[in-house]
Amino acid sequence: MSSDFESYEQDFAVLTADITGRIGRVPKLLGDEKKQMVANIEKQLEEARELLEQMELEVREIPPQSRGMYSSRMRSYKQEMGKLEADFKRSRIAYSDEVRNELLGDDGNSSENQRAHLLDNTERLERSSRRLEAGYQIAVETEHGFPPVQPIAEEGRVVLAEHAGCARGTSWPTQSLWSSII
């Protein structure tokens, strides 16, 4: 049984090496050539998955005392397969000019449109900044611009203190009110 497993291992190694080489060429291809290469790689990936399934069946038939070594190899092959699939996915959407232009909708006028849009946004940002500055100035003037309010507040505290003294004989809780004001 292990000879079948080793045969599958060799087939898997050859197949993954071929897939890796093809994946590296995909971003450089264009049009129908790229589509054909992608289709071929997809078929090879399916073959690799089938080989993994066959290998897994072989591992299940191996006696339990020697199954551990083969199981760890299977985990390694599955990880390699996952990496191949991820690399293939990335290579299909590689940053070729054709794909980039298609995704970004790049045409001859886009740089002019982008420049106009950038200028509009810059002007809007400057207007907002001026409004914020004006609001800040108003806040500063309001904070420091009303000095007569302070003496009026002091007078109010004095009046409250006088009335609190008059009300000491009543049941009204003036002491707690007075302490919360001061």
At CA 11, angle to CA 10 and CA 17, rounded to 5?
A: 90
When the pLDDT of each residue in the chain is averaged and rounded to a whole number, the result is: 79
pLDDT of residue 151: 63
CA dist., res. 161 & res. 168, Å (int): 11
DSSP secondary-structure letter at 95? -
pLDDT of residue 148: 57
The residue among 171 and 24 whose pLDDT is bigger is 24
The residue among 149 and 28 whose pLDDT is bigger is 28
Residue 12 · residue 78 · CB < 8 Å: no
Indicate if the alpha-carbon torsion angle 165, 168, 171, 176 is positive or negative.
positive
3-state secondary structure of 30: coil
Neighbours of 173 (CB within 10 A): 9
Quote the percentage of the chain above a pLDDT of 90. 25
Asked if the model's pLDDT at residue 65 lies above 70, the reply is: yes
Residue 139 — very low, low, confident or very high, per pLDDT cuts 50/70/90? confident
Residues in the chain: 182
Residue 26 — very low, low, confident or very high, per pLDDT cuts 50/70/90? confident
Mean pLDDT of 57-77: 88
CA dist., res. 51 & res. 4, Å (int): 11
| 136-139 contact pairs (CB < 8 A, 24+) | none
Over its C-alpha atoms, the chain yields an Rg (Å, rounded) of: 39
Q: What would the pLDDT profile of 39-49 be if each residue is shown by its tens digit?
A: 999 999 999 99
Q: What would the pLDDT profile of 88-129 be if each residue is shown by its tens digit?
A: 888 877 655 565 666 666 555 667 788 888 888 888 888 888
3-state secondary structure of 112: helix
